[in-house]
Structure 1
């Protein structure tokens, strides 16, 4: 069974902290970062901003607070889209000098010029500056939610280690909600984008409550109670996804420091209630070793510190014991150790945990398919969008070795490549260096079986597995021995082992430069009149096509 921490201990800490100076440090500390990001649901590049902000927090998890503020034209909902805006966002944005999205402020500080607004490329370096700067005030907070009444209690302490530049400061308590699914133009998730750190309310109002004692040694101790509504602008609330950011401002601008706190929960029905919340989708695979993930959630009052997990794949059972400290209503994704198994056309994974106060949520089952298997001859068609320079791809074997790769390519062009593969399991990865996808990848074998397909705004990366039986197509000629030399070339390009093939030469923009049919076994191509640059040669024979790149120098 799983071990639990005493619930009474949790209550004692919270209650004691509510009535005594127990949670804030009185020793001088550096500033914490509060990054307010202005965002929306129709913002092509906002997911890149979200990723950059999260990377800053991941590097300093206890010292960086993220607040995503939905405001402006990109946040205005249309049709049945959710309304993530608040009554506060427009005023906060108005004092920044905001001109485009995604952008944000770091501690509402003016780093240069007259405005606080920063584009996403500046956030990391400015955050590091703030983290290395001494603060004149420390802040700490703790929170609790009663799930029977939806009442949120927030206890805040602040201590001034030196005098503030302003005689009056402002105390701000922001309520945020994580994990809200909704539309997003960028990110490749459509209407299933996961919106995080979403500002839903300011308990202390637009600009906070006054702090009038801001000299060295001043101690601030305040407690707030607030009832979380069933929804914000018709977007349902989820108590398990709520969190609080508390920060101080000098006037309504400069933020000396802030802190994020995750609430504890009271009013839960069961003490011991671990749940299997989700088994993330397992994509079709040809690998006979599986490392699956499972999401566990604590629905009980007592923290979970140890949890045996049994995972059965096609009838073969395996066990793993997770350890940690999972508090009430918190979730954690657990990576189960990789195990070998017998791969079937359809496979079953069942995950179970021991009996507790509620056994209705202790087991979950999912299925996953075997990936398509093709012949040993594979054709890759690449159709780039208007940003072919962002396109990259690679093909890895079962050992993780990259055996083929390519990119960048011209804009709005089609590239066809052919590979001869050994019998193995392969992973194809399409990459967009900007992060929004757009290139269409199609992988088929010599029999026309589709092995992989990706189209649309698939984000920064799209992947898929497929198997090969290693048997070359009957109508294909081997491209393994084709040689192209010298490369770079200046006058003559030699093409060896492509007898009777047809060739087409394209420039970097996809313009056809020359063609030649039924070439000799050792053909020569005159490139003396071509300008210096990059070219592609398309070699076709017996319904098989391969494309190679060469350079011309002068």
Structure 2
């Protein structure tokens, strides 16, 4: 293994006083996060680990680096299956004790958080990553990599600067490279051979445990430069230069990663035609929506930077053009916002956002599409009862208008304490708003579960959410006159309201189990008039709109049955 690596690289000597200026910053910074994820194509739970890794990267793209190591028994390929294992991956698996822990497992900065092992399960990755990122870094790192398509040469320069007192006589600088967008099989994903593997370890550019940085001291710099020839394939899997990343990290020995940095290289003599792909955003359009913009991620598929993009936005059959300007480097992906002209919101709405131009040139782009319902009915004066979890400092709580402007901001709230707050807002009549919660780390308000309820000025319940997951939650509502809101049944876990314009009974309730719930409406004499089944998810919120066009004014009984547990509500339709 060592001879193979050395044939690819030329190692420069440690330079304490170079003749050029350094790029590495000298101010004290927070430690970045390295997740070394041990995985395999025959591991049924590994897609869950991949999802957690992706959430961490999405939440902190400048601070999180992932190396997915295919090793151990779960990575052994069957006949006609690709072999994603590497020699260095097998060494890391044995030395760090991954296979003994069960897959998926991983290390966060090779740090021992409890007990004696650096290996933890996927449930602890985000929590441990937060702890690491709260600490000051002993050393800052900076890295630049350049790829030349003529000879497939990858040149990597790493700089370091020590901001704190050092107790170890030496450190080890590791430089690895990964590849994303590798199609292959994956148990637990139900995608056949079309599963897209990301951040897969392909090799080390340094020696297997890194190169020695001698006598590190506070206030001193170091630099290393490497030249590595990128192979055309590894065990038959093509190495596509546009999908690689380089990761550099400094360790005290074989464990304890002091800091990490990385990124994609710049490219010369490597031409790819102009192109891009629209990807789903951090917060997707859910059952209700009203913003005059759509969010997405834009992946640059070309060696040229993207500075502008054009879109055709279609809402309920009405087409309009939209434009975006910015800068996306070669083969990189960035979140973008696509602004649309104000549009009429109907009871149900269909939308499509199609990519049409890049840098002023027409392309055949892909689309993001879906549907959403009209906003809920609120009033200009609303009350919000908010229950935080223990990490309120990771959340924002705001009300936005249709253009995304903040019209009311709540908090900050006490952290490390589950607490209940009651907030109020005065809004403009007939305008549409969104109460929006965002979560910095993408793990929601779950420790313990947070929630919110929104009430109108006459204490009718507009919306409740007992399961705030991922990057947050949004509730869209219109500030209507209180006289136009017709509540017909309310309790702590159920919202029932009547839309007299569209003749709809709108029902929302907290679900107990995953499965089905039965909704029935009876006359006062006990005759069943409406009977519907809907899918439910445990601990979530189920919503259903039922046509009341055939129901005359009068008194009715609403029955909700969840796995034999029934609740009944009296309704009066006026």
Aligned counterpart, 1:72: 72
- CA distance, structure 2, for counterparts of residue 117 and residue 366 of structure 1: 39
- CA distance, structure 1, for counterparts of residue 44 and residue 508 of structure 2: 25
Residues 355-394 of structure 1 mapped to structure 2, 5 A cutoff: 359-361=362-364, 363-364=365-366
Aligned counterpart, 1:143: 145
CA contact (8 A) 1:141 1:156 kept: yes
Aligned counterpart, 1:491: none
Aligned counterpart, 1:63: 63
- CA distance, structure 1, for counterparts of residue 165 and residue 262 of structure 2: 24
> 1:172: Cα distance to partner?
0.9
- CA distance, structure 2, for counterparts of residue 131 and residue 288 of structure 1: 35
Deviates most, 44-53 or 171-180: 44-53
Normalized against structure 2, the TM-score is what? Answer: 0.57
Normalized against structure 1, the TM-score is what? Answer: 0.59
- CA distance, structure 2, for counterparts of residue 404 and residue 158 of structure 1: 47
Aligned residues: 433
1:298-356 Cα shifts (integer Å, max 9, x gaps): 45555334444343457633233323321122234545446647999997847354575
3-state SS in 2 of match to 1:88: helix
> 1:439: Cα distance to partner?
4.9
Aligned counterpart, 1:251: 253
Residues 66-465 of structure 1 mapped to structure 2, 5 A cutoff: 66-98=66-98, 99-161=101-163, 164-186=166-188, 192-216=194-218, 218-267=220-269, 269=271, 275-278=275-278, 296-298=298-300, 303-313=305-315, 316-337=318-339, 340=343, 349=352, 351=354, 353-354=356-357, 359-361=362-364, 363-364=365-366, 439-441=514-516
1:263-285 Cα shifts (integer Å, max 9, x gaps): 22223558xx7635247699999
3-state SS in 2 of match to 1:256: strand
Structure 1: runs of 5+ lacking an equivalent: 1-17, 372-399, 407-418, 433-437, 483-503, 513-535, 540-545, 547-554
Deviates most, 79-88 or 258-267: 79-88
Q: 1:441 to 1:177 in 2, by over 3 A?
A: farther
CA RMSD, Structure 1 to Structure 2 (Å): 5.4
1:197-249 Cα shifts (integer Å, max 9, x gaps): 32221111321223334344553322222233343333333433321110122
Aligned counterpart, 1:384: none
- CA distance, structure 1, for counterparts of residue 223 and residue 325 of structure 2: 36
- CA distance, structure 1, for counterparts of residue 286 and residue 33 of structure 2: 42
CA contact (8 A) 2:31 2:259 kept: yes
Deviates most, 235-244 or 330-339: 330-339
Deviates most, 79-88 or 444-453: 444-453
CA contact (8 A) 1:178 1:198 kept: yes
- CA distance, structure 1, for counterparts of residue 507 and residue 316 of structure 2: 23
Residues 462-481 of structure 1 mapped to structure 2, 5 A cutoff: 468-471=546-549, 479-480=557-558
Q: 1:128 to 1:354 in 2, by over 3 A?
A: closer
Deviates most, 184-193 or 99-108: 184-193
CA contact (8 A) 2:310 2:357 kept: yes
Q: 1:229 to 1:467 in 2, by over 3 A?
A: farther
- CA distance, structure 2, for counterparts of residue 19 and residue 187 of structure 1: 52
CA contact (8 A) 1:308 1:320 kept: yes
Check if 1:39 corresponds to 2:39: yes
Mark the structure with the bigger radius of gyration.
1
Structure 2: runs of 5+ lacking an equivalent: 1-17, 374-460, 468-495, 522-528, 570-574
- CA distance, structure 2, for counterparts of residue 268 and residue 199 of structure 1: 22
1:83-119 Cα shifts (integer Å, max 9, x gaps): 3322222321223333222322222233444322223
Q: 1:161 to 1:280 in 2, by over 3 A?
A: closer
**Highest RCO, 1 vs 2 (Cα 8 Å, sep ≥ 6):** 1
1:444-490 Cα shifts (integer Å, max 9, x gaps): 99999999779xxx9x99999987544569xxx9642x6xxxxxxxx
Aligned counterpart, 2:484: none
Q: 1:193 to 1:464 in 2, by over 3 A?
A: farther
Aligned counterpart, 1:383: none
CA contact (8 A) 2:466 2:539 kept: no
Q: 1:425 to 1:263 in 2, by over 3 A?
A: farther
> 1:186: Cα distance to partner?
4.1
Aligned counterpart, 1:22: 22
> 1:259: Cα distance to partner?
1.0
Q: 1:165 to 1:440 in 2, by over 3 A?
A: same
CA contact (8 A) 1:35 1:107 kept: yes
CA contact (8 A) 1:346 1:367 kept: no
